[in-house]
């Protein structure tokens, strides 16, 4: 197709500039607003590039299947061909390509597999990353690997990053590539705001805005809501509100291809549609006839918590980039209107871009891909953002548990087999293990059920869902079954003679989420020590044991979304190597004592326990230390001298630093095994701990060669001219001495420590031990403000001596005799 035959869209103006950039170099960045036409025109334009040769393929990456199918369909239409001729697509459940295909539209996950399996990208002339601003984990990884392959193996490979709203500077620094910008969109958009009343549900606000827009504007309406539940509730509020010429339809990932295609198909003349969509409609697709966009301003993002190993969905505000993308849907085919359901001033407070997935995702698949690529440290690759260390370590821990990587994070034989399957690592491990028992097909069906949303219905019980999935008919269900068959074959297994219970299979994917009912119906503790709950009305709530495949919520309040029952016999048979029989020492917070028991356990799940006699020794001391961690240092009986020892050493740490140790609570709790545990091996409870053992332990933290300097540098007491000893406080930033002023009479020099280098802060007290004044200069006090203090004190305490010249008076602790 000649460039002149392409439709004229805003991006057309910069296509020559893009072509020249790819002749002069091998990388380019294209920033084009929504509606500019980059998704369809750029690949078609590059078909004529001289560097492509006669048969070099162009790979166009799209973030979603719907976008991939739509882009391929539009390009094929422009060429007057069928999908699968010059333009085709490839995705997880479907592929329409042929020997004639020169432009392949693929989802980002498919490309990551392509380049890992063939790092040279044989036969591929260019890779175009569309809608890169979404920053999916697969897109970030795919770009990093493509840049790596280009540098080491394929200097002739062209790489183009395209986006409507892009953090151009960061991507440009990574790629060292020219930035080409396409100005303007096809049609103008009138952005309006309709603030949501406080406390009103988003579906109520949205339904009202849709009714008003439908009655006041022409054309079809695209409404953005955060998720499927909000779409369903909004539809309930709108059903029956419009005549037969307006169609109301949803658009989200769980729908079938037919239902999704129906939502984006052009309407018949004289008809309108109202499409209620998630972020799936934000990029790369055109819904013909839409001239009104209504944006809730909300989106649902997955957030991975490394501390729990769980990904939960969180409803958050959209970014400014996403809001711009959504508004752009209104100006694709004619002038449009974008109605934002928030106050205009709130737009500036929105984050600039949606957070990249690499910062909040389960990285186990990412780490497995890196290991296949031969990389153990992701910082060696060209990633825009490096993954969080905690999430990275959590992923490595899981992969080691599954046997996919070794201690050095290198791929094992099992890991290579897992990597060959288009599944998350947990589920790949399950299918591979099931193949040993000829149950690979059953496991693969279960794995597909868990990765393809909507199959088998909404039940929490995976056994029920699997049964329904097997009986489903339809294009998506049949394609899913075929995919499961290919996975089972890749695992080397056959169909099982008898169906294996899902719970028995899932144990090998989620060994850390085997759960035992504890605390009543619907309450479970998992092998990883976390609690999880089911509604009491659920059938599974009565199961003695479960395997949890999916759950959500904050730590401590995790709600089970998908699980299967499992018997203890199956757990003991399948997880025999992980079941431990051992003697334990545990701290009992109620009695403050150490208890001993003999247990049979799987992680945190206790199957059996037998009490043992109360223990002593190193294990008991460690259990006691755990009790201190739970209750805090206030549970320990520090004596007054022990508390002062902490203050003295702590003051030296604050003043001098190392090697004087930190005596703060957090520091001491972190070092209990050094100063507490070794001195408690004959102790059975916190009430048996002696103050002397605590002081001895604290002193043990001070290097031996410094211990003899402690009394010299920070003495415990100050000897007053009266001969009495007064304790010095070291709990502040300077040593402090509270003392009655009469005991300092006759003292002409200010008291100091460390050979006179560190003056004491004197808290001068009255005969009734009430504060009079503080001073760091006693001679100056005698010569200055003493006169005023004396006048006040003589009237208040007439029986005590108040000499005019205290520096030359005799110190005393007594009042004057009566009658004097």
| 588 found inside a domain | no
Determine the pLDDT at residue 328: 83
Segment 393-396 long-range contacts (CB within 8 Å, at least 24 positions apart): 393/306, 394/306, 394/309, 394/363, 395/362, 395/363, 395/364, 395/366, 395/367, 396/367
Q: Considering 181, 201, 216, which residue would you say is the last residue of a domain?
A: 181
Instruction: Specify if 280 maps to a domain.
Output: yes
**What band does 497 get if pLDDT is binned at 50, 70 and 90?**
very low
One domain, residues 724 and 699: no
Statement to judge: residues 244 and 311 lie in one domain: yes
**pLDDT tens-digit profile of 349-389?**
999 888 899 998 899 999 999 999 999 899 999 899 999 99
Q: Are 651 and 637 in contact (CB under 8 A)?
A: no
State whether 220 and 318 are in the same domain.
yes
Predicted confidence band of residue 4 (pLDDT cuts 50, 70, 90):
low
pLDDT of residue 442: 92
**Do the domain assignments include residue 342?**
yes
Query: Does position 739 have pLDDT exceeding 90, yes or no?
Result: yes
Distance CA 174, CA 52 (A): 24
Domain termination residue (choose one: 673, 689, 712): 712
**One domain for residues 142 and 33:** yes
- Residues 223, 287: one domain? yes
Q: Is the pLDDT of residue 307 over 90?
A: no
Structure tokens that stand for 78 in this block: 């422009």
Range 428-434 contact pairs with CB under 8 angstroms and sequence separation of 24 or more: 429/402, 429/403, 429/404, 429/508, 429/509, 430/505, 430/506, 430/508, 430/509, 431/487, 431/488, 431/491, 431/493, 432/491, 433/508, 434/491, 434/493, 434/500, 434/505, 434/508
Across 332-336, 463-467, 497-501, 572-576, least confident range: 497-501
Q: What is the DSSP letter of 280?
A: G
- Tens of pLDDT, residue by residue over 534-589, are 999 999 999 999 999 998 876 667 899 999 999 999 999 989 989 999 998 999 99
- Is residue 782 assigned to a domain? yes
Note the pLDDT tens digit of each residue in 742-773.
999 999 999 998 778 889 999 999 998 999 99
Q: What share of the chain is helix, strand, coil (3-state, %, to 5)?
A: 40, 20, 40
Query: How far apart, in whole angstroms, are the C-alpha atoms of residue 514 and residue 407?
Result: 25
Which range has the worst mean pLDDT, 312-321, 336-345, 669-678? Answer: 312-321
- Bigger pLDDT: 556 or 482? 482
Residue 42 has pLDDT above 90, yes or no: yes
Does residue 335 lie within any of the structural domains? Answer: yes
**293 vs 206: CA distance, rounded Å:** 11
Q: Which domain holds residue 705?
A: 629-712
* Buried residues in 722-761 as b, exposed as e (16+ CB within 10 A): beeebebbbeeeebebbbbbbbbbbbeebbebeeeeebbb
> Is 235 contained in some domain?
yes
User: Are both 167 and 266 inside the same structural domain?
Assistant: no
Residue 650, domain member (yes or no): yes
Q: Are residues 268 and 163 part of one domain?
A: no
Quote the tokens at residue 595: 């208890």
Q: Pick the range with the lowest mean pLDDT from 3-7, 442-446, 616-620.
A: 3-7
For strands 579-588 and 593-602, give the pairing.
antiparallel
Q: Is the same domain home to 305 and 160?
A: no
pTM value?
A: 0.74
Is the model's pLDDT at 19 over the cut of 90? Answer: yes
- pLDDT band of residue 733 (cuts 50, 70, 90) is confident
- Number of structural domains in the chain: 4
For the chain, the farthest-separated pair of C-alpha atoms sits apart, in whole angstroms, at: 123
pLDDT tens by residue, 125-154: 999 999 898 889 999 999 999 999 999 999
CATH number at residue 46: 3.40.50.300
Report yes or no on 390 lying in a domain: no
Supply the pLDDT for residue 396: 93
Looking at residue 726, its pLDDT comes to 94
pLDDT at 494: 61
- Do 626 and 550 touch, CB atoms closer than 8 A? no
Which of 695, 712, 729 is the C-terminal boundary of a domain? 712
Does residue 41 sit in the same domain as residue 176? yes
Same domain, yes or no: 77 and 174? yes
User: Are residue 14 and residue 152 in the same domain, yes or no?
Assistant: yes
Read off the pLDDT of residues 257-296 as tens digits, 9 standing for 90 and up.
788 888 888 888 889 999 999 988 877 677 778 899 999 9
* Whole-angstrom distance, CA of residue 313 vs CA of residue 308: 14
**133 and 47 share a domain?**
yes
Per-residue confidence (pLDDT) for residue 615, from 0 to 100: 87
In angstroms, the CA 402 to CA 511 distance is: 9
């Amino acid at each position: 197709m000649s460039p002149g035959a392409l439709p004229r869209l805003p991006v057309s103006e910069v296509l020559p500039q893009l072509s020249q950039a790819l002749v002069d170099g091998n990388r380019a960045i294209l920033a084009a607003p929504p509606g500019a036409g980059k998704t369809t025109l750029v690949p078609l334009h590059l078909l004529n590039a001289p560097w492509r040769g006669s048969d070099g393929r162009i790979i166009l990456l799209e973030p979603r299947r719907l976008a991939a199918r739509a882009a391929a369909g539009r390009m094929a239409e422009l060429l007057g061909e069928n999908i699968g001729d010059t333009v085709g697509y490839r995705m997880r459940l479907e592929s329409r390509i042929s020997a004639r295909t020169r432009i392949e539209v693929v989802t980002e996950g498919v490309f990551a597999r392509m380049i890992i399996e063939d790092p040279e990208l044989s036969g591929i002339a260019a890779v175009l990353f569309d809608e890169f601003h979404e920053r999916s984990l697969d897109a970030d990884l795919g770009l990093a690997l493509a840049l790596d392959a280009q540098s080491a193996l394929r200097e002739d490979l062209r790489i183009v990053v395209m986006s409507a709203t892009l953090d151009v500077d960061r991507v440009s620094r990574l790629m060292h590539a020219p930035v080409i910008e396409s100005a303007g969109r096809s049609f103008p958009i009138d952005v309006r705001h309709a603030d949501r009343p406080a406390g009103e549900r988003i579906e109520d606000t949205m339904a009202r805005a849709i009714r008003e827009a439908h009655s006041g504007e022409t054309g079809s309406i695209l409404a953005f809501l955060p998720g499927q539940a909000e779409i369903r509730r909004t539809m309930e509020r709108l059903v029956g509100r419009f005549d037969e010429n307006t169609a109301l339809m949803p658009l989200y990932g769980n729908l079938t291809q037919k239902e999704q295609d129906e939502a984006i198909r052009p309407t018949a003349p004289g008809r309108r549609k109202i499409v209620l969509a998630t972020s799936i409609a934000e990029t790369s697709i055109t819904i013909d006839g839409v001239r009104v966009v209504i944006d809730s301003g909300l989106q649902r993002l997955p957030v991975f918590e490394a501390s729990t190993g769980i990904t939960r969905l969180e409803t958050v505000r959209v970014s400014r980039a996403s809001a711009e993308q959504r508004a752009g849907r209104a100006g694709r085919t004619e002038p449009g209107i974008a109605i934002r359901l928030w106050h205009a001033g709130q737009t500036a407070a929105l984050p600039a871009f949606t957070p990249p997935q690499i910062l909040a995702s389960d990285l186990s698949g990412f780490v497995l891909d890196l290991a296949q690529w031969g990389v153990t440290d992701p910082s060696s690759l060209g990633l825009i953002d490096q993954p969080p260390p905690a999430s990275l370590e959590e992923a490595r821990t899981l992969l080691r548990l599954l046997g996919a990587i070794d201690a050095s994070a290198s791929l094992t034989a099992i890991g290579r087999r897992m990597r060959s399957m288009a599944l998350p690592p947990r589920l790949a491990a399950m299918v591979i293990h099931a193949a040993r028992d000829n149950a690979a097909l059953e496991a693969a069906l279960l794995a597909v059920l868990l990765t393809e949303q909507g199959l088998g219905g909404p039940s929490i019980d995976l056994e029920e869902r699997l049964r329904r999935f097997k009986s489903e008919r339809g294009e998506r269900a049949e394609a899913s079954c075929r995919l499961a068959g290919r996975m089972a074959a890749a695992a080397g297994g056959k169909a099982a003679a008898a169906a294996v219970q899902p719970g028995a299979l899932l144990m090998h994917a989620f060994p850390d989420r085997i759960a035992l009912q504890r605390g009543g119906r619907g309450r479970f503790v998992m092998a990883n020590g976390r609690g999880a709950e089911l509604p009491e009305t659920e059938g599974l709530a009565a199961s003695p044991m479960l395997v949890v495949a999916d759950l959500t919520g904050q730590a401590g309040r995790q709600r089970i979304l998908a699980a299967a029952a499992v018997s203890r016999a199956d757990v003991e048979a399948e997880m025999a190597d992980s079941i431990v029989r051992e003697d334990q020492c545990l701290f009992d917070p109620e009695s403050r004592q150490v208890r001993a028991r003999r247990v049979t356990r799987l992680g945190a799940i206790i199957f059996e326990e037998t009490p043992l006699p109360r223990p002593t020794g190193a294990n008991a001391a460690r259990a006691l230390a755990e009790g201190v961690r739970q209750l805090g240092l206030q549970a320990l009986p520090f004596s007054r001298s022990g508390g002062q020892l902490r203050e003295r050493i702590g003051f030296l740490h604050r003043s001098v630093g190392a090697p004087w140790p930190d005596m703060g609570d957090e520091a001491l709790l972190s070092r209990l095994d050094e100063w507490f545990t070794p001195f408690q091996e004959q102790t059975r409870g916190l009430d048996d701990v002696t103050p002397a053992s605590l002081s001895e332990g604290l002193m043990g933290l001070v290097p031996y060669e410094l211990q003899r300097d402690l009394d010299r540098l920070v003495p415990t007491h100050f000897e007053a001219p009266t001969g009495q000893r007064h304790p010095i406080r070291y709990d502040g930033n300077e040593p402090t001495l509270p003392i009655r002023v009469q005991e300092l009479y006759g003292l002409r020099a200010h008291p100091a420590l460390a050979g006179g280098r560190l003056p004491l802060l004197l808290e001068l007290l009255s005969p009734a031990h009430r504060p009079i004044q503080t001073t760091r200069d006693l001679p100056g006090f005698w010569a200055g403000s003493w006169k005023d203090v004396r006048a006040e004190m003589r009237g208040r305490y007439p029986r005590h001596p108040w000499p005019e010249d205290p520096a030359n008076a005799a110190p005393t602790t007594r009042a004057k005799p009566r009658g004097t």
